[in-house]
Amino acid sequence: MNERETLKVNESGHLEIGGADCVDLAKQFGTPLYVFDEAYIRRMMRVYRDTIEKEYGGNGLVLYASKAFACEAMYRIADEEGIGADVVSGGELYTALKAGFPASKIYMHGNNKLDYELEEAISAGVRCIVADAVTEIDKIERIASEKGVVQDILLRINPGVEAHTHAYIQTAKTDSKFGFSVADGTAEKAAEYALSKAHVRLRGFHCHIGSQIFEKQSFVLAAEKCMDFAAKMKGKTGFVTEELNLGGGFGIWYTDEDRKIPPEGYAEYLEALLCAVAEKAEEKGLKRPYILVEPGRSIVGEAGITLYTVGAVKEIPGVRKYVAVDGGMFDNPRYALYQAKYTPVLAARANEEGTETVSVAGKCCESGDLVCADVRLPAAKPGDLLAVLSTGAYNYSMAMNYNRNLIPPCVLVREGKAAYIVRPQSYADLTRNDAVPEYLRKKDAKSGKE
Ligand SMILES: *Cc1c(COP(=O)(O)O)cnc(C)c1O
In this predicted model, what pLDDT tens digit does every residue of 3-16 receive, in sequence order? 568 999 999 999 99
Q: What pLDDT does residue 240 have?
A: 97
Count of CB atoms situated within 10 Å of the CB of 287:
11
Tell me: pLDDT of 169 over 70.
no
Taking the centre of ligand 1 as the mean of its atom positions, its distance from the CA of residue 247, in whole angstroms, is: 6
Give the DSSP H or E segment for 389.
Answer: strand 385-389
Nearest CA to ligand 1 atom 3: 248
> Exposed, middle or buried, 317 (CB in 10 Å: 0-12/13-18/19+)?
exposed
Q: What pLDDT does residue 271 have?
A: 98
Taking the centre of ligand 1 as the mean of its atom positions, its distance from the CA of residue 65, in whole angstroms, is: 6
**With contact defined as beta carbons under 8 Å apart, do 141 and 133 qualify?**
no
How far is the C-alpha of 129 from the C-alpha of 255, rounded, in Å? 36
Nearest CA to ligand 1 atom 10: 248
Q: What pLDDT does residue 85 have?
A: 98
How far is the C-alpha of 213 from the C-alpha of 272, rounded, in Å? 14
How far is the C-alpha of 373 from the C-alpha of 320, rounded, in Å? 10
Tell me: pLDDT of 440 over 90.
yes
Average pLDDT of the chain, as a whole number: 95
Got the DSSP string for 157-224? EE-----SS-GGGB--SSS-SSSEESTTSHHHHHHHHHHT-SSEEEEEEE---BSSB--HHHHHHHHH
| Candidates 22, 275, 365, 410; catalytic one | 365
Nearest CA to ligand 1 atom 7: 249
Tell me: pLDDT of 164 over 70.
no
Active site residue 365: yes
pLDDT band for position 1 (50/70/90)?
A: very low
Tell me: pLDDT of 227 over 70.
yes
Select from 393, 390, 423, 419 the least CA-distant residue to 409. 423
Candidates 158, 176, 294, 334: which one to mutate for ligand 1, based on the most atoms within 8 Å of Cβ? 294
pLDDT band for position 178 (50/70/90)?
A: confident
Tell me: pLDDT of 310 over 80.
yes
How far is the C-alpha of 403 from the C-alpha of 340, rounded, in Å? 22
Select from 48, 45, 41 the least CA-distant residue to 271. 48
Check residue 135 and report its DSSP letter: H
Q: What pLDDT does residue 2 have?
A: 45
In this predicted model, what pLDDT tens digit does every residue of 242-264 receive, in sequence order? 999 999 999 999 999 999 999 99
Give the atom of ligand 1 at the shortest distance from the alpha carbon of 393. Answer: 8
Report the percent of the chain where pLDDT is more than 90: 91
Stretch 260-270: mean pLDDT = 96
Taking the centre of ligand 1 as the mean of its atom positions, its distance from the CA of residue 322, in whole angstroms, is: 33
Ligand 1 neighbours, Cβ below 6 Å, are 65, 67-68, 109, 208, 211, 247-250, 294-298, 393
Taking the centre of ligand 1 as the mean of its atom positions, its distance from the CA of residue 208, in whole angstroms, is: 7
**With contact defined as beta carbons under 8 Å apart, do 434 and 41 qualify?**
no
In this predicted model, what pLDDT tens digit does every residue of 358-415 receive, in sequence order? 999 999 999 899 999 999 999 999 999 999 999 999 999 999 999 999 999 999 999 9
Tell me: pLDDT of 353 over 80.
yes
